[in-house]
Amino acid sequence: MAATLLLFGCLLASAANASEQEHDAEAHRTKSVAEAHSVGLEVSRKALQLATWSGLSPRARALVERSRHDDWDPDDLLNALELHAPQGCLDLHQPTRLAERKARWAEAVRLLALTHPDELERWILGERRPPRTALAEASTQLRCLIEAMVAASAEPDHGFRLFLSLRGNFGGRFATRAELAAHLQRYPRFFSQVRGALLRSDYRDMSSQSFIWYRKMRFTGRSFNKISERAAERCGLTPGHTWKPESERHKRCWFEELTPADREQEILLASAAPALSRHHWGTEFDILGLNPRLFEEGAQLYEAWRWLDGQALDYGFFQPFGPDAQAQQFAHMEERWHWSYYPIAQAIWEHLREREHLFEPVLHTLWSRLERRWGTHPSPYFTHMREHWRDYLFHITVPSPPEALP
């Protein structure tokens, strides 16, 4: 009996030892794969830097070397590239000028990737404020666009009126174009009122975007987004209505009928995941309103949107989330209020397209850090995004500049 027990104990010990060895081997394989992946990414990153360097002009190489030698910050480099904060409106209505401005910013992003790779990455992720020059140029062009829209709203043939709450400045009636121009000239602070009346959102850092994502995933706070047809059919709700966290019926649907990936897709219709919001770049502006129904044909903001749709590109702005997004399986819905400053935003977007294989592990690491902070009980926060982040970042409407007018 004792011999049998001893033999049984030896077998158990042997099995445990084998299991432990197998576990150690699997851990070693996992570590080896991770290390090989990390080495491969580093090799790819260095190869891309070398290719970028070899393609630079002598002038650009000299700026890179001077930046490293003199310890420039990103704004110093942008100033050396003569990308100063504009004193007035940039003339971008000619397609060649718009393309040239984008090309200049594309060169700036390429050089920043060599001289300040960490700062550039943190800018794109929303972990650091964009360079002053970039913020100033995008904001100045927005001012120019808004001033033009204000002037156009004073012309009866444009079919839209703005600033009902500001009518008191003109004796209870709408101002003429000349009166508006004179008023803006006489009272510079009046434009701050105008901008405040129109602007709904501009630069947003990753911390703010993370809070929005967390709040919606946890289904707290005020109403948000539109209920998709898919979720409405599954839960017996009305598509197009907003999600209401205070509603027990909505809450049951959110947590009991929708998977974590489903919830992400509901949020992604109108909100970006942290680190992937274009608002991090300092180039994005939400204006007029945030309710899609107000932009439908015949609604209050439709004619103003039509004017923007025809004129915004003259000031460098385009609508990145256009109607063709609806044709994609995974994409943000059309946002007629969201306008992007093309020269800088497109330069960043193209930079990310070229480096998406290097950008992906950065995103995964960042999202894992957020999940550890928030806790993943009862579910993770970025299941869907880890698989489909490219769809939401790269499925946009890129404008084709119109032919130059004679």
pLDDT category at 31 given cuts 50, 70, 90 is: very low
> Residue 383: its pLDDT value, please?
94
Give CA–CA dist 43/46, Å, rounded: 5
Cα–Cα separations (whole angstroms), residue 259 to 185, 246, 247, 369: 55, 20, 19, 22
| Model confidence at 36: pLDDT above 50 | no
Residue 377 DSSP class? S
Query: Which burial class, exposed, middle or buried, applies to 365 when counting CB atoms under 10 A from its CB (0-12, 13-18, 19+)?
Result: exposed
First to last CA, the chain: 105
Supply the Cα-derived Rg of the chain in whole angstroms. 27
Helix then strand count (H, E) for the chain reads 16, 6
Residue type, 259: T
Rounded CA separation 104/119 (Å): 19
Q: Is the pLDDT of residue 183 over 80?
A: no
pLDDT in tens, 329-362: 888 989 999 999 999 999 999 999 999 999 999 9
Report whether 115 contacts 72 (CB < 8 A).
yes
**pLDDT score of 302 more than 70:** yes
Task: Report d(CA 286, CA 348) in Å as an integer.
Answer: 19
Q: pLDDT at residue 32 above 80?
A: no
Distances 195 to 111, 147, 179, 190, 288 between C-alpha atoms, Å: 34, 9, 18, 9, 10
Domain map (residue ranges) of the chain: 73-203+281-406
pLDDT at 291 over 70: yes
Number of C-beta neighbours around residue 390 at 10 A? 15
CA atoms within 13 A on the CB side of 149: 32
* Res. 127: pLDDT tops 50: yes
Range in 12-21, 237-246, 360-369 with the lowest mean pLDDT: 12-21
- Render the burial of 258-290: b for 16+ CB within 10 Å, e for the rest: bebbbbbbbbbbbbbbbbbbbbbbbbbbbbbbe
pLDDT at residue 145 greater than cutoff 80 = yes
Q: Comparing 229 with 47, which gets the higher pLDDT?
A: 229
**Nearest-angstrom CA–CA distance, 361 and 367:** 10
| CA–CA dist 337, 382 (Å, integer) | 26
Tokens, residue 314: 């003259």
Q: What is the spatial distance between Cα 95 and Cα 119, in angstroms, rounded to a whole number? A: 31
The answer to whether residue 404 scores a pLDDT higher than 50 is: no
For residue 51, name the pLDDT band (cuts at 50, 70, 90).
Answer: confident
Q: How far apart are CA 88 and CA 364, in angstroms?
A: 41
DSSP label of 353:
H
User: Is the model more confident about 175 or about 106?
Assistant: 106
Cα–Cα distance for residue pair 312/321, rounded to 1 Å: 14
pLDDT digits (tens, 9 = 90+) for 207-235: 999 999 999 999 999 999 889 999 999 99
* pLDDT surpasses 70 at 62: yes
Mean pLDDT, the chain, rounded, equals 86
Give the rounded percent of residues in the chain with a pLDDT score beyond 90.
Answer: 60
Q: Which residue has the higher pLDDT, 192 or 137?
A: 137
Of residues 189 and 302, the one with the higher pLDDT is 302
User: Residue 398: pLDDT above 70?
Assistant: yes
Paired sense of beta strands 284-287 and 338-341, if any: antiparallel
**Of 55-59, 99-103, 155-159, 391-395, where does mean pLDDT reach its minimum?**
155-159
| pLDDT score recorded for residue 118 | 95
Average pLDDT over residues 258-265: 95
Q: Residue 380: what are its φ and ψ, rounded to 5°?
A: -70, 170
Distance, C-alpha 192 to centroid of its chain = 25
